Amino acid sequence: MTSPSFQRFESFQSDFSYETRPVRVVFRPGAAVTATPGEAARLGLRRLLVVCGTRGEAVARAVADALGDTCAGVHAEARMHVPVEDADRAVAAVRAAGADGCVAVGGGSAIGLGKAIALRTGLPLIAVPSTYSGSEMTPVWGLTDHGAKRTGRDPVVQPRSVVYDPRLTLSLPVPLTVTSGVNALAHAVEALYAPDTSPLVSVMAEEGVRAMTEALPRLAADPKDLDARSRALYAAWLCGSCLGSTTMGLHHKVCHVLGGTFGLPHAETHTVVLPHALAYNAPAPPQALAVLRRALGADDAPRALWELAGRLGVPRSLAELGLRESDVAPAADRVAGEPYANPREVTAEGVRSLLRAAYEGGPPATA
């Protein structure tokens, strides 16, 4: 594999392609209410359905109020992993409202439902994220049908406009702040060794990892620190952009299986699995590891991620998240049966030992 970075100590990757998609980003405290109507106007939208989850309804209603006459209703039915029946109901709501676009307010679940609507109808989407999932910066959609999560890429689901308002994230509880932040880190980590990585992705990933890992301890100490919130959201933007520009690998596949088939919570699962997935892949992409060592300020990147989760008090084992020991082998078979692109060969035995280590929650194998 060629070098993913042109930075110090590494050779320049001189064979790559990079696509820039037309996404407008507005970043400002208070922007959810002050900037969303202007973004809708820029896109020429006049009847917007606001999509959110039940817990995010109050904020979504504030955005809906700001939209005034251009709001065609609030659909507060987003749930994790976008069950297909939820997508069906949301599309029916859009049609019943005669909407010409959607605004998704909330975490990856709300944005995921907005993307499902865009996928089926072609309507433009504005995203107002309230977590660090990064979904707003990707053309990736996900749908769960009969216990199996499918993902795909389609430019039509990429939000046309993203309104980043750090104030929306002030209410994120510390555990979700940390796990959602590590979800963002996972995007940067896998982008560094993706087959379609590039020097620009490498720069974004390094800056994203550095900014997020600096912000999270500050937020664990003081979740109302608006400056740290802004830095974490900036990092989420960078890490989400990395995910949007590259192909996901083993880590994301493991998390999709554990979430879609075994019902584990998304951000927490990313947090537990990431050190072990990176340890599994560590021998394969030395250049990616060099970038991560620099960004994390640590020689052993998988261990540094594992220690970060421990220091910040979030779960480190799949057992804590509710996975049964008897699920490890079938989950591994499922991952190995349809692997994503990965720098190291994915074998059922290899995934089984990765999952067993993540199930137990001890330190990852030394890189």
Query: What are the backbone dihedrals phi and psi of residue 152, each rounded to the nearest 5 degrees, phi first?
Result: -155, 170
Interface segment toward ligand NAD; rule CB under 6 A; list 106-114, 279-287, 291-299, 335-343: 106-114
Scan for tokens 């100490």, then name that residue: 221
In whole angstroms, how close is the CB of 164 to ligand NAD at the nearest point?
A: 12
Closest CA relative to residue 189, chosen from 215, 169, 208, 175:
208
Tell me: does residue 238 bind ligand NAD (CB under 6 A). Answer: no
Query: In Å, what is the CA distance from 304 to each residue of 59, 292, 365?
Result: 35, 10, 12
| Binding-residue pattern over the window 178 to 217 for ligand NAD, x denoting contact by CB under 6 A | --x--x----------------------------------
| Binding-residue pattern over the window 52 to 71 for ligand NAD, x denoting contact by CB under 6 A | -x-xx---------------
Q: 75, 81, 251, 334: which one contacts ligand NAD (CB under 6 A)?
A: 81
- One-letter identity of residue 56: G
Scan for tokens 């400056």, then name that residue: 227
Burial of 366 (0-12, 13-18, 19+ CB in 10 A): exposed
Which residues sit opposite 312 in a β-bridge? none
Tell me: does residue 168 bind ligand NAD (CB under 6 A). Answer: yes
Written as six digits, the tokens of 265 are 């919570």
Residue 133: enclosing H or E segment and its boundaries?
Answer: none
3-class state of residue 303 by DSSP:
helix
| Binding-residue pattern over the window 111 to 150 for ligand NAD, x denoting contact by CB under 6 A | -x-----------------xx-xxx--x-x-x--------
Q: 32, 67, 80, 351: which one contacts ligand NAD (CB under 6 A)?
A: 80
Judged by the rule CB under 6 A, the positions of this chain that interact with ligand NAD are 53, 55-56, 80-81, 106-110, 112, 130-131, 133-135, 138, 140, 142, 168-169, 171-172, 176, 180, 183, 243, 266-267
